[in-house]
Amino acid sequence: MENSKKVIVLGAGVIGLTAAVKIQEHGGYQVTVLAEVLPTDDKSIRYSSQWAGAHHVLNISEESRQHEMDIDCFGVLWELSKPGSETEENFLRLTQTEYYAKEATLPPLDRMPDHKVIPKELLPPGVLSGASFSSLTMDTPKYLQYLASRLTAAGGKIIRATVQHLNQVVEGGESAFSAEKNPPSPPDAVLVCTGIGSRFLGGVEDKTVYPIRGQTVLVRAPWIKFGRSTAEADGRWTYVIPRRNGDIIIGGTQGVDDWYPYPRPESTRDILERVFAMCPELAPPEIREKRTPTLDDVIPLIIEEGCGLRPARKDGVRLEVEWLQANETGKKVPIVFNYGHGGYGFMSSWGSANIALKLLEDAIGGAK
């Protein structure tokens, strides 16, 4: 412990927590997470991770670096979701079906287990390509708390703090933000995992970070045990993401640069209509046995409407190191950036954490 290097991780979303766990468990590091919003807080527009579905589905139009992180992460999540394991309760393993209203080139989906291209004659009307494969979903509020407790169990710390400027952390470390009035404790390295906050955090202020607002509806439908999405012809995405506990996230919307913090009633209606058309199984089975269901059969299942901001970045995830010099001590501190995960934070979390750890090790010469 004495010789371990002090690492501050800014941000307690899925990205900060996963990176913090990765680094703390690696050994040789003492990790403290500083964050304004924590997993145990009520859902907030200032914290994207609480709003995610979250499924693991590769976006076939994304760049290959993103796919590598996602595939890397899938390996870790698949292991954590293993039947009979202590961690499986955070996940639901399922068969995922992806439909495309346009002709689509389906690889890289063939990298997923049990991948099958759906023959044209079996595709629903209006769908031109489709594939199915095995994947998983995460119960995001539960999984975030799991990450936080895994971090503290490994000896890491989490402190609530609103950081105004990177320099405050480089000079003062966690002491500047802890309740006890301790002298400065400059860290050996800082990770910036501040999601949308990276646009505003002093010393980062990355104006290429922008929100892609996503509205969803949470419904109670424990009979749904499969995942399904459609890439509509107009670019919208319609999806059904069941969780292990029987709640289902349905969506969605993709509002580029849309900061509106409340669910819009017209979007909720639109989501319900699109999802019901794609997935009439949403209506309770006892109704479907008796008669043809309508949208009205789904309305009573609604638990909550919500919206969150996907932290997108013009050039994709920022994963790189910059050095900052503390003025008081002259100490040079590497800053590892890990933000801008857009709509893929959960499915790339372990992949980007591996890269962040590598950057950290290269920067400070390996702590062990």
Ligand X SMILES: Cc1cc2nc3c(=O)[nH]c(=O)nc-3n(C[C@H](O)[C@H](O)[C@H](O)COP(=O)(O)OP(=O)(O)OC[C@H]3O[C@@H](n4cnc5c(N)ncnc54)[C@H](O)[C@@H]3O)c2cc1C
Which residues in 140-199 contact ligand X (CB under 6 A)? 161-163, 193-197
Q: Shortest Cβ distance from residue 211 to ligand X (Å)?
A: 9
Residues 6 or more apart from 280 whose CB is under 8 A from it? 288, 293
Q: Is residue 310 a known part of a binding site? A: yes
Q: Which two tokens stand for residue 113?
A: 């287990």
- Asked whether residue 298 is marked as a ligand-binding residue, the answer is no
C-alpha 8/C-alpha 2 separation (Å) is 16
User: In whole angstroms, what is the distance from residue 261 CA to residue 172 CA?
Assistant: 33
User: Is there binding between residue 49 and ligand X (CB under 6 A)?
Assistant: yes
57 versus 301: smaller Cβ distance to ligand NAG: 57
Structure tokens belonging to residue 15: 């990205």
Residue 286: CB partners within 8 Å, gap ≥ 6?
none
Select from 35-43, 59-67, 224-232, 360-368 the region that touches ligand X (CB under 6 A). Answer: 35-43
Q: Is 343 assigned to a binding site? A: yes
Backbone angles phi, psi at 149, to 5 degrees: -75, -30
Contact status: 211 vs ligand X (CB under 6 A): no
The tokens of 40 are what?
Answer: 């145990």
Structure tokens at 279: 């997935």
Residue 39 touches which member of ligand NAG, ligand X, none, C-beta under 5-8 Å by kind = none
Subset of 9-68 contacting ligand NAG (CB under 6 A): 59, 61-62
Query: In the complex, what is the shortest distance from the CB of residue 161 to ligand X, in angstroms, rounded to a whole number?
Result: 6
Smallest distance, Å, CB 345 to ligand X? 2
Helix H or strand E encompassing 213: strand 209-220
Residues numbered 232-261 forming contacts with ligand NAG, rule: CB under 6 A: 237, 254
37 counts as binding ligand X under rule CB under 6 A? yes
The answer on whether 87 is annotated among ligand-binding residues is no
Q: State which of residues 13, 130, 172, 242 lies at the interface with ligand X (CB under 6 A).
A: 13
For the stretch 49-75, what's the b/e string if a residue is b when 16 or more beta carbons lie within 10 angstroms of its beta carbon?
bbbbbbbbbbbbebeeebbebbbbbbe
State how far the Cα of 286 lies from the Cα of 327, in Å rounded to an integer: 69
| 194 labelled binding-site residue | yes
HEC-encoded secondary structure of 55-67: ECCCCCCCCHHHH
Q: Which residues bind ligand X (CB under 6 A)?
A: 10-16, 34-37, 46-49, 51-55, 161-163, 193-197, 201, 214, 216, 251-252, 308, 310-311, 339, 341-347
Q: Which residues bind ligand NAG (CB under 6 A)?
A: 59, 61-62, 167, 170-171, 237, 254, 324, 326-327, 343
